[in-house]
Structure formats: C-alpha cells, structure tokens
Chain A
C-alpha cells in the first residue's frame, strides 16, 4: 500500500543524504521524494511516498523520527489530504496536431508553457492519477521529456 509520509526536517547540509541513506541502508523503497522550504526558515519539509505493508511503513516512520535532524514525522494514510504532483512534459506536436493536443491539455487543465515548431511543453499539476492519465493520452503523439516533482501533500483542516 502507498503511504505519503511528511517529515519536517532541519534545513542543514547533509540532511537529505541522511534520510536517503537511511532508506537505502534499511532496504525501504522510495516511490518519490520531494523537498522544499517551509514557512519557517530553518525547517524543510520532505514528502516521501513509500510502498509497503503497515509494519514496514511503521518502521519507516520510526526510523525517520529517530534521525536527529528530523523534527516531526506524519503518515498521511487514512487522513483527508490534498496530494499533488507537478509535471513538465515536452510532447511532439507539429502544427497540424495542435488543435487536438490543445483540447487534451484543456481537459486536464494543463498549461502550455513553451512552444516551438515541432514541440510543445506543458505544465500539469494534480493528483498522481491525473498526471499518469495525461502521460497516457499524450503517449501516441510522442513524449520527448518528462520532469516530475514527486508528490507533495498536506492534510485538510
């Protein structure tokens, strides 16, 4: 089962290596990992998507909490959360295909952020399934490049 784990960590050098190293050393699998600053200057938030049974994820949570630079750990499973991915994708799109591709982008509430004669770059955000869905519908046109942030998430108030 997929768990979204949110960890508040000290914003210090080496913390990412510390967390990533622990995952590797304990043979936990990371599906995605996103790191960014928070409203507090000296804290960052890591959102880590982990696949595993409850016991494995419980260990992940405890081992994370044990790391000295990790301030707080939450497992969002079973909680009301908003979870989003951001993707930039470059699709092969000659001028004659533009109308149909643009309508797909519209449907997925994407945004065209760059355009050239043969390609367009699109920005899409949303739940992971939506991102996957967009990749699938674009595949027939030819996907040149994908860059994704990995999931970030927050519980609803």
Chain B
C-alpha cells in the first residue's frame, strides 16, 4: 500500500486528504516538531518504516530496543524535548519495558510507538503478539491502542501533550499493522486533543504561596531539598533567584543535581543515603524543609519517621499525589515550579542566618567528601575529580548504577541543569552507555562522558557499535573494579564479606572497543590517569577508557537502609583520611 493516494471524494469547501496510518504518524510527528527518533525495525512496523525511509528525521537504530529507549530518554533529559522511540510488537515491545520504567520513575517525557498484530488477530496468540498495553500500563504515564485510523492523529497529539505536561512521563501508543496501512480522509477527522480526565494545575494557589513565603521568612534554620522536578520545570534560574534573595542552603537529590550550582557556597551537594554529611545533618537539624520537585524517596529520607524531625515541611510539586505520600506536609503548594518560585521569591526577605550558616560551614569543614588518593592503585574518585578538572565541570555526565553513579554524583560538581543524566528512581544498570548516545545526539557539540561501572557497562556495551555507526564522539570512563561494586560493598558491610555472585570475569574492554571500531584505552596506574583523560577528550571517535581501579573501595558516607540520615557510617574513615 502506498502512502500517496489521489484524492477521490471532495467534501464541499474542504480538500479531501487521504492518508495511510503510517503517513499520519510521520506527518503528525513532523507537525509536532519531532526531528530525531530512535527505533528498531520488525515485521508489523514495516509499513511505518517504509514511510520513514524518506521522512525528515534523524533516525538512530540501536542494537537492542532497551538501548533505543534509554537513548530516547537521555535525549529528552538533555534537550527538554520529548524523546521518541519505535519498536515492533511482541519481543520489541517487551524489550522496551526497562526503558519505559526508567523514564516513568524519573518523570522523563517520552513517546513510544509499538507495532501490534492485525486487529483481527489480537488475542489469538499470533506470532510476535504480546499484550503491550497490558504489560506497560503500570510503567507508563498513559498508554493506549489505536484500533481505528481515524483516531490516530488525535491520539498522537494527546500522547505528546500528556508526556510533556504536568509531571512528565512516558506514553505508549500501540499500533496494529492494519491501522498503519488503512486509509483515512484527514479532512473528515478531528485532530483536536480530547482528554476530559487530564487536567493540569500550573498556577500555584496564591494563599499557599503567601504561607510558603511567610514560613521561609520566619525560619531560622531552613534548608532546601531540591529534586528533578526543578530541572523538568526548567526552573533552575528561578531557584537561584530565590536562594540568593532569601539566603538559603540548598541540598539536592540525585535527580536534582545541576538544578543549583554546586560550586556556590549555598550548595550542600547531595543529600540521602550517599549524600554529604553536611547535607544530611542540615536536614536533621533544620526547622523548615523546603522540598521542591522532590518526592521523599526512601533513598533520600532514610528512616522516614525520623526524617527532618524538627522541621515544618513545605512541599512544592506539580503532582498532587506526591504531596503527603510518604511524609505529612504542613504547607503544600501544587503547581509548576517555574510559576511558583518567582512568586514566592517576590515575598521573601534576605536574612543572614549567621548561626545556621556557621553551623553548616563547620560540618563542611569537618566532614568534606574525601577519599585516600594513595599512589599505587587508581582510586575511582580520583578519576572523576581529574575528569571534572579536565572538562571544567562542563561535560554532560551519564552513569551506570551503583558505586560509579554515587561517586559521579559526589565528585563531579555540576553547575547547570540537564548535565547529570542518571537512572535515579529505577536504578537501571546499563543505562549509562545508551544514555550517553542519546545525550550526544541531543547535544552534538557537548562533551558527553559515561561514567560507568564494569558490570553496568557489560549490560549494554553492544550499543558501542551504535555510537560508532553514527560517529558520535562519546567517552566512556569505566571504573573497573571487577565487581558489582555496590552489591559487593553491601555484602562486605552487611553479609560478612561473603561475596556471593558479585564478581564477574570481564573482557578486555579496550580490545572490545577497538573491535567495535571505537578507541580503547586501558589504564592501571594513577600517574597515567591525566594522560588517558586528555587522550580520551581529544578523540573524534567514541572512546572507552578502562580504568582498573581499587577493587574494594567503598562509597562513604552511607546511611544504612532503615537508619536515620544522621546515622551515617564511614565518617570516621573519612576523618582518618584528613
């Protein structure tokens, strides 16, 4: 079936405009401003891919649909635009699952298209059939199957609207192959969004905003707890104005890193399980906790009953269901941070809060993030510090999950939003490499570095050949300790050093990289670290540097699961390194 049919019937006053479903997808995406997409071919999406053959998209084929989904996700995180990913039915759709769940947990705007078997075969266990909408329902913000081509254009517009507004998230459209080829007179269908159940609250309530400002003005020991919502709302500037006007200390979640310049004196860096001691102490002793676009995740709060025990809690969030979900909130403000923050700022007064800032300064002095650099083996933290130096703190950093991710969060100081790209909520190992690819596609001029662990890298390293194919100069820094590092750390601390199944035999990553057409470098001496980083940063091709690091280094400090934030382990170890 071709996409070009000559108009046959004419309705009075309106040109009839007959298109196939596949053509509708392409035209609607173009109309919505999509210029980049990621996806993998398969039987039931052939009609769609046929239309894509001469469509004006920058199309990236991953090696696995999971990789494609992470790429689209990271593309969205660095650009702020929705990511688009396409997969075939059955296994293709199933391979998207991890990627969709990752995007869902971190509120990333994503639109996924999956092919589906013919509508008359649905439910018959047809070849490559899976109940995609059933499987993905809990891991998407919304999903639907389009069974009538007349609904297609409208549904796509609705999907983009839902994915990108309110608290963003992934939306999936399941598209049976017969809908892709069936025809529709576009002059006869409405493309207008029709979502009676989807209402957004952008404007914060005026009285709540006044209450919020009053509480901040009154507070002697306030602290901000900033999450990814501020970045999603593009409200980093508004946040900075608020902080400067009122003079407030700022802690950030993993997802919030970059929302506030970490090189500024008000920054307390990251809070939570592997947060800084000064952030965690400040939370435990504050009299007002100002949560902005954050959701009181268990990795942040520790023992939730003992979280910020002296504080009144002010929570600004666009998702009403985030408010009072895990902790009781005293002053809720529902709406868009970009609208709310300036309105609060207007009502704020500058207060010196000398005693409070002195206390914080003392914690910072006593418990800085610190490690023993040594000189025999490479310390993973050292690699990140040197990378930060070499890139001037300007790189877009993606990560795997585990120790590599925590060290990246601790030792790379971010000063602008959309530069730390990491799977926070779901904790998806293998995210780093495909995310770096998606980020580089979204920001072709940026220096993009995946700070990865050997185990995380192992999970998705096949995507290296995607980077090679599209000549993307991504850099991969493997902090290779030959373990699933974070799991090994837990086994050391809580399972009597019984390293059950946490040790892998790795390939020579540098040789793998070279075989795939990338540049591979292997380093095992601390004095060679700078040279390797320099070499890596000068590459035009994708480059993997395998840093053989200290095998049993731990991430400190650490709040053991179920403990309160001030009950951090490792502070003594950190102090002994002074």
Contacts and interface: CB of A to CB of B under 8 A. Distances in A.
B134 interface: yes
A17 B137 contact: yes
A135 B321 CA distance: 39
Contacts, number: 41
B325 interface: yes
A21 B197 contact: no
A72 B195 CA distance: 12
A59 B321 contact: yes
Interface residues of A, number: 23
A11 to B, nearest CB: 11
A65 B138 contact: no
A9 B197 contact: yes
A55 B134 CA distance: 29
A62 B198 contact: no
A100 B137 CA distance: 52
Interface string B452-476: 0000000000000000000000000
B133 A67 contact: no
Interface in A39-84: 55, 58-59, 62-63, 65-72
Interface in A81-131: none
B134 A69 contact: no
A59 to B, nearest CB: 6
A33 interface: no
Nearest to B323: A62
For this complex, into which size category does the number of interface residues on chain B fall? Answer: 10 to 19
B320 A68 contact: no
A67 B138 CA distance: 11
Given A14-B144, A71-B196, A71-B197, A66 B321 contact: yes
A25 interface: yes
A139 to B, nearest CB: 40
Contacts of A72: 197
A37 interface: no
A22 interface: yes
Interface of A: 9-10, 12-14, 17-18, 21-22, 25, 55, 58-59, 62-63, 65-72
15 contacts: A9-B197, A10-B196, A10-B197, A12-B144, A13-B145, A14-B133, A14-B145, A18-B137, A22-B138, A62-B320, A63-B321, A68-B162, A69-B197, A70-B197, A71-B196
Given A17-B134, A22-B138, A65-B320, 9 more contacts: A10-B196, A14-B144, A14-B145, A55-B324, A55-B328, A59-B325, A66-B321, A68-B197, A71-B196
Interface of B: 133-134, 137-138, 141-142, 144-145, 162, 195-198, 319-321, 324-325, 328
